[in-house]
Amino acid sequence: MIDRFYATATVLIVTGIVMLCQPVSANVHVWAFPVLLAGVVLFLVLDHLPESSSLAKRRTKDNL
């Protein structure tokens, strides 16, 4: 489930960068930074959440 949030954060970051680089609309350019910031903040929050024990157990089994 947390992978969906990581995917959402990544999509927001990429969308924000594309919105910053487009030369067509000033309104899209204005909204680019908040979109990019939302993606970065979401990614940082997810990165600082502790892993659940079941996920950690599954990852250690896969590494063996």
Other beta carbons less than 10 A from residue 42's beta carbon: 17
Is the pLDDT at 59 greater than 70? The verdict is no
What is the mean pLDDT of the segment spanning 33-43? 97
Q: How far is Cα 46 from Cα 12, in angstroms, rounded to an integer?
A: 14
Is the pLDDT at 53 greater than 60? The verdict is no
Domain locations in the chain as residue ranges: 13-48
What's residue 2's pLDDT?
85
What's residue 51's pLDDT?
74
Q: What is the dihedral of CA 26, 10, 38, 58, to 10 degrees?
A: 170
Mean pLDDT score across all residues of the chain: 87
- Per-residue model confidence as pLDDT tens digits over 8-35: 999 999 999 999 999 999 999 999 999 9
CA atoms within 13 A on the CB side of 21: 6
Whole-prediction pTM: 0.75
